[in-house]
Structure 1
Amino acid sequence: MSGRYEVKPGMMAFGSCGNTQADRQVFQIDDNFAHYRQIKLLARGERLSKYYQTCNYSQAVAGAIARLIINRLIQEHPQHFHCQRSRDNTLKFHSQLTKETLYLDSELQLQQVEGTVVPAYASTLDALATQVQEDLTIICRADASNWLGAVHLCYPNHWSAEEKIGKDFATIHAPVAGMEKINRRAGAIANTMITHKPMVRFAWGLSTDTRLNHHPKPPSGVSVSQWQGRSFDLQHPRLYLRIERQVIWGLPEYEAALFSIRTYFRDCSFVKKDSVLRSKLYAAIQSMTPESLVYKGLVESKDSILEWLEEG
């Protein structure tokens, strides 16, 4: 909306964006749930380790993250999720959306599942992540170091769970054009994520399709050009804003934070019809540095996209 493409933390207080009830939800569920779920199942079926990784992810942190996710789901969507705690402190968690029931022990480790998923759930985090429309990452910290402790990433936007797992904030974001100033404060930003009250931020890019899974490596049998979703055709224009709603929920007592990523698409043919939004998008694309254009995959498409937007 500033008419400039900017790379900045942009973190706001959770629940403050003006969309009332939806803003107060970590996990946003809508009519597209079945589609999002199917994409996760397809990704897991392709090769689970391509999309789900952990590194130095302690049982204590895993339990705390599971408790946070379960508590938010039953609070935010009581019509879809409920749980029962037994006398021995074990938990039975049920999703009305997937018809699955998870049985967890007193430390919230997965013991049993009612429902058939292939491959079988590898952990509580794997099971819970497959009940929601968000991707999940967990930042951990010990002493002066921080690292990506767990990642469940079935809707990657041209990055890989296997490449990022175990790395610190600055290393993870090093390839992002324009991140240099932010990365110099990487330790302070990781501290903010872990110790501050819950926050939300938004990120945007452009895509020529609405495929949720844009892993850098396509599945076998699919060409790279077909998979990337960054080839704009002026004769048959398809262009979408790919928007990520990212929620950061710190657990300072565990030196960790949950970072959720919910992907949305907005058809730019509708953006184009709004003269203000069209001019803002045009100016923002025009303001991108050469490095940002490379990172966003827009080097070859920029001029065609601007010409299409200019048509009004």
Structure 2
Amino acid sequence: MNGRYEVKPGMMAFGTCFGNGEADGQVFQIDENFAHYRQAKLLARAERLSKYYQTHKYSKAVAGAIARLIVELLTQDHPQYFDYQKSTANTLIFRSRLTQETLWLDADWQLQQVENSSVFPAYSSTLDALASQMQEDLTVICRGRDGCNWLSAVHLCYPNHWAAEEKIGKNFAEIHQPVAGMEKINRRADAIANTMISCKPMVRFAWGLSTDTRLNHHPAPPPNLSVNQWQGRDFDAQNPQLYLRIERQVIWGLPEYEAALFTIRTYFRDCSLIKKDSLLRFKLCAAIESMSPESLFYKGLVDSKASILNWLNEV
């Protein structure tokens, strides 16, 4: 909105009002597109689960704390869709009315069994099962006694040109090293990771441009699809399709477990509608114009920048 493309932490207090009503106070946002998001996750899992779900040094204690946090937030914010109870056998029962699935968890929040589920492959863990009940992707960052940090778990079925298998186990700076414009931030990487774990919950937003609304833009396309078909960065001035791809990212620290949950919710805004708002059109064009050559390359806009700007400025 300031007419510049910037790479910065941009973290704001969780619950900040952005004009979306109660949704601004929810970590997990559920809307009328749930079935579409769910299907995209199931397709990704069926392709190859390890392509989208990875863990590294993800301790039982941290896994249990993250599972408990997710369950409590889902049932607190969306009681019409989710509930959980303790059974007499020291077992937790979590139910989703959206998927009709019931998860049985032990006292440590480890997955024991699933009822009314036909997903393939079967859920491999509590995190895998819970991630499949929502419209967000999930990552977990952990911190060691020596102060080091690493990506401990990632369930990423809606990747925006990055891969779980390439990032798992890496620290904050290593994860973001390919991102153009991250140099200053990466010099403070450890401090930022510590903030994620130690401070109160925060929210931030990131944006880019896409020529389709496919949620899954893994760098490697599924079998039988070419990279050009898959990548969503091929602007056609004769048949213009352009969208703002926006990520709402929530950071929820668990300092007592030296960990933080990081959620990613993907949204799209049709740029043909942005064109009709003179202020938004001006701001978006200015932001694209302000991108460095490195940022244009990273965002896949080198070849299409001029044609995109021409199209946006057509009235």
- Give the TM-score normalised by the residue count of structure 2: 0.98
CA offsets 1:198-240 (integer angstroms, 9 cap, x no match): 0000000000000000000000000100000001011110000
What are the ranges of 5 or more consecutive residues in structure 1 without an aligned counterpart?
A: none
Runs of 4 or more above 4 Å deviation: none
Shift of 1:87: 3.1
Once the two structures are aligned, what percentage of the paired residues are identical?
Answer: 77
TM-score where L is the length of structure 1: 0.99
DSSP 3-state at the match of 1:300: coil
Query: Quick check: 113-122 or 168-177, which moved more?
Result: 113-122
Is the Cα–Cα contact under 8 Å of residues 136 and 153 in structure 1 kept in the other structure?
yes
Query: How many residue pairs were aligned?
Result: 312
Q: Does 1:81 align with 2:86?
A: no
Question: What is the CA-CA distance between 1:184 and the residue it aligns to?
Answer: 0.2
The answer as to 2:141 corresponding to 1:132 is no
Unaligned runs of 5+ in 2: none
Per-residue deviation at 1:47?
0.2
In structure 2, distance between residues paired with 1:89 and 1:169? 37
Q: Which residue of 2 aligns with 1:217?
A: 220
Confirm or deny that 1:33 pairs with 2:34: yes
| 1:156-202 residue CA offsets vs partner (Å, 9 max, x unmatched) | 00000000000000000000000000000000000000000000000
1:5-42 CA-partner distances (Å, limit 9, x unpaired): 00000000001033230011000000000000000000
Residue 53 of structure 2 is matched in structure 1 by 52
Distance 1:149 1:33 in 2: 27
Residue 100 (structure 1) shift: 0.2
Aligned partner of 1:69: which letter? I
Cα separation, 1, equivalents of 2:283 and 2:137: 29
Which of 242, 246, 271 is the matching residue for 2:245?
242
Amino acid at match of 1:175: P
Distance across 2 between alignment mates of 1:220 and 1:117? 20
SS of match in other structure, 2:311: helix
Matched residue, 1:118? 120
Tell me the equivalent position of 1:14. 14
The equivalent residue for 1:231 is 234
CA distance in 1, matches of 2:23, 2:96: 20
CA distance in 2, matches of 1:191, 1:170: 13
For 1:95 and 1:255, the matched residues in 2 are separated by 29
Do 1:88 and 1:106's aligned partners in 2 also have CA atoms closer than 8 Å?
Answer: no
Q: Which residue of 2 is the match for residue 68 of structure 1? A: 69
**CA-CA distance at 1:116 after TM superposition:** 1.7
Pairwise CA RMSD? 0.6
Task: Give 3-state SS (helix, strand or coil) of 2:143's partner.
Answer: strand
1:199 aligns to 2:220 (yes or no): no
Amino acid at match of 2:125: S
Question: SS where residue 48 of structure 2 aligns?
Answer: helix
SS, match of residue 92 in structure 1: strand
Task: Determine the structure 1 residue equivalent to 2:147.
Answer: 144
